[in-house]
Amino acid sequence: MSSFKKAAKTAQKNHRERSQLSSRSHLGLLEKKKDYRLRAKDYHKKQDTLKKLKQKALNRNPDEFYFKMVNSRLQDGRHRWLKKDDPKTEEQELMLETQDMRYVNHKLAVEAKKIEQLKSTLHLTDCGDSRPKNKHIFFMDTKKEAAEFDPAKHLDTHPALLHRTYNRPTTAMLESHTFPGTAVDEEVVGTELQELSKLRRKKYKELTQRIDRERELNIIAQKMQGKRNQHDKGKKVLVKGETKESAAVYKWQPARKR
């Protein structure tokens, strides 16, 4: 009997599902039963999810509180985490990840040496507009003398050099060294002063950049040392958190030494 069933199946015609009509080929493939089942299953799954969410919203307590609510806000119908201030700058993060303590200390010593060299060649008494201007007061006996007073003649220098509080050459020095002849060329004096002022501003700008660089390296070195100190044994208490301008400060409880 079983052999007869097997022989009967061989004579049966294979069942083939209908394909999409040529007139409807622009609509894509014709959906089969298996495709419908997958689509129906996905649809009912989404409907069940929406039903559960609606029920959960109806049963929600308006006074409920979760600790995650402190660091999140509802924006445009979506929960978004609040951005926290990073205690490290991008440069500090890169240095802490790629360099070691010896390299940072070496660069710190190099910057300190260059700063000392710049300070030794610059006159820091007139390094910025924010500092109070020096005043040179002359006292006259009468008002007539005060009206006829000529500061350039009194200081024996050129009028274009009166505003300088340092390195103010006299007329004799200008005539004998820089400007030959008996008269001083005002155009040449102005050009020389502009070049000196430009060079001076450039030096002070370099000095300011190196001071900022030294301060940044010092902060990185402190953070590296603090990170290394955290591996020490013993109980510690955080006194001050880490910021972009300083490392974290910990206080270790005193421990008895054996």
- Look at 25-29, 57-61, 84-88, 149-153 and tell me which has the smallest mean pLDDT: 84-88
The DSSP annotation for 224-244 comes to HHHHHHTTSSS-EEEEE---S
Neighbours of 69 (CB within 10 A): 11
Residues of the chain with pLDDT > 90, as a percent, come to 9
Q: Two tokens at 102?
A: 């010896």
Residue that the structure tokens 């649809």 belong to: 43
- Look at 108-112, 195-199, 212-216, 248-252 and tell me which has the smallest mean pLDDT: 195-199
Helices and strands per DSSP (H, E), number in the chain: 8, 4
Rounded mean pLDDT of the chain? 78
| CA–CA separation, 65 and 82 (whole Å) | 17
Task: Give the predicted TM-score (pTM) of the model.
Answer: 0.42
Domain boundaries, the chain: 90-220
Q: Two tokens at 28?
A: 């894509």
* 18-28 residue pLDDT tens: 788 889 989 88
* 35-48 residue pLDDT tens: 999 999 999 999 99
End-to-end CA distance of the chain: 95
**Is residue 88 predicted with pLDDT exceeding 90?**
no
As a whole number, mean pLDDT of residues 68-80 equals 83
| CA–CA separation, 230 and 238 (whole Å) | 11
Q: How confident is the model at residue 127 (pLDDT cuts 50, 70, 90)?
A: very low
- Answer yes or no: are the C-beta atoms of 215 and 134 closer than 8 Å: no
**What single letter denotes the amino acid at residue 151?**
P
**Is residue 123 predicted with pLDDT exceeding 80?**
no
| CA–CA separation, 215 and 139 (whole Å) | 46
Distances (CA, A) of 160 to 35, 142, 168, 199: 93, 27, 10, 18
Q: Are strands 78-81 and 72-75 parallel, antiparallel or unpaired?
A: antiparallel
- Look at 37-41, 78-82, 93-97 and tell me which has the smallest mean pLDDT: 93-97
Q: What pLDDT shows up at residue 1?
A: 60
Kindly state the DSSP code that residue 74 receives in the 8-state scheme: E
As a whole number, mean pLDDT of residues 240-245 equals 81
Residue 78 β-bridge partners: 75
Helix (H, G, I), strand (E, B) or coil at 179: coil
| CA–CA separation, 123 and 27 (whole Å) | 84
- Answer yes or no: are the C-beta atoms of 226 and 247 closer than 8 Å: yes
